Amino acid sequence: MNLEREDFNCEKPKIVIFVSPREEARVYLGKINEILRSRGWQILQIVNVGDSIDKHLLSICDFALVLGGDGTMLYASREVSKYGTPILGVNLGRMGLLTELSPDEFLLSLEKIELGKYSISEVLKIAARTPKKCYQPALNEYTLMTSKPGKVVGLQIFVNEGFLTEVLCDGLIISTPVGSTSYALSAGGPIVSEYLKAMVIVPIAPLYRGMAPLVLPSNCIVKVKVKPGWADAYVVADGQVLDKIVASEHIEFTEAEEKAKFIRVQDPLNRVRKVVNITNLSYRG
């Protein structure tokens, strides 16, 4: 969902800033801290990754400003999504596929942001659960990975309780549209616009190419069962190892009730264009 925001507000933004541990982010924070305060912005809290966060401030700020790369964006998303707080990402990492602006672009966009001339993109997350446990929603992807490097995991895949296929592989990625440009893309999946409501299912190194990537409606229930006789599987959410699924156990993936909101200052194709250009450069060497 893309929500236009062009309502003029005389009050300057109230923000919480999340900062990457990278030195570039700390230097940039020192630069913009003075600039933003001189323009009347209210910086309610500066959060380093791992810091204690004032939940009340997250609930009353206009948006969270993230200075860092994709890892910092994922961290901030986990913290703010339950409050419905939009995120504006400034890329001070390497790839920055989840971020919106470069450091220079952010400074050039200050007046536009102050006037509310931006849109808010509401994107889906994926929830996961087993019969015994519910896991945190993921913004990029859930991954089932073989628990034994060099050994394949056997998986049976069901959609809305109907058997779909089974595959022997190193793992399986269940991705959001936003996450389609991350691990799923590296494993051979498609680029999916964040404005679509979909789940992307991508096998990792399937034996004999026994399964192609799939794009399914986000309202599907995807159940994955670990087959006996093969390796167990680790459950990984946005790069964090959460649990192990052993033989004969299963895990279900659904669209999460919790959404993530991103401030978009540039045109809707900007993120896809960035990924396509990076891909083209990698092919050209």
Query: Which one is catalytic: 70, 104, 232, 243?
Result: 70
Closest residue by Cα to residue 55 from 82, 25, 90: 82
Supply the CATH number for residue 269's domain.
3.40.50.10330
Could you write out the DSSP letters of every residue in 256-280? EEEEEEEEE-S-TTHHHHHHHHHHH
The answer to whether the beta carbons of residues 23 and 31 sit under 8 Å apart is: no
Do residue 98 and residue 166 come from a single domain? Answer: no
Same domain, 98 and 138: no
**What are the angstrom distances between the C-alpha of 150 and each of 146, 147, 210, 226?**
8, 9, 18, 17
Query: What residue has token string 């440009």?
Result: 181
Main-chain dihedrals φ then ψ at residue 134, nearest 5 degrees? -110, 140
Are the beta carbons of 122 and 109 closer than 8 angstroms? no
* 22 and 56 inside one domain: yes
The Cα–Cα gap between 93 and 104 comes to 14
* CATH number of the CATH domain containing 188: 2.60.200.30
Same-domain status, 51 and 174 = no
Are both 210 and 274 inside the same structural domain? no
* Same-domain check for residues 153 and 227: yes
Q: What angle do CA 52, 33, 9 make, to 5 degrees?
A: 95
Tokens standing for residue 280:
């083209």
**Could you tell me if 157 and 165 are in contact, meaning their C-beta atoms sit under 8 angstroms apart?**
yes
Please indicate, yes or no, whether residues 105 and 153 belong to a single structural domain of this protein: no
Name the CA radius of gyration of the chain, rounded. Answer: 20
Phi-psi region of 126 (alpha: psi -120 to 50; beta: other; left: phi over 0): beta
Give the structural domain span for 68: 2-117+265-284
Query: Would you write out the chain's pLDDT as a tens digit for each of its 285 residues?
Result: 555 444 444 589 999 999 999 999 999 999 999 999 999 999 999 999 888 899 999 999 999 999 999 999 999 999 998 899 999 999 998 778 899 999 999 999 999 999 999 999 999 999 999 999 999 999 999 999 999 988 999 999 999 999 999 999 999 999 999 999 999 999 999 999 998 999 999 999 999 888 999 999 999 999 999 999 999 999 999 999 999 999 999 999 999 999 999 999 988 777 777 777 765 544 444
**Centroid of chain to Cα 233:** 22
- Structural domain count of the chain: 2
* Residue 6 pLDDT: 47
Q: Provide the sign of the torsion angle of the four alpha carbons 149, 152, 158, 164, taken in this order.
A: positive
Q: Are residues 146 and 252 in the same domain?
A: yes
- Assign 3-class secondary structure to 152-204: CEEEEEEECCEEEEEEEECEEEEECCHHHHCHHHHCCCCCCCCCCCEEEEEEE
> Do 278 and 91 touch, CB atoms closer than 8 A?
no
For 146, the token pair is 């073989």
> Has 70 been annotated as catalytic?
yes
Let me know whether 140 and 247 are in one domain. Answer: yes
Do 61 and 164 lie in a common domain?
no
What per-residue confidence (pLDDT) applies to 285? Answer: 42
Do 208 and 146 have their domain in common? yes
Based on the fold, state whether residues 158 and 108 are members of the same structural domain. no
Give the three-state DSSP class for 268. Answer: coil
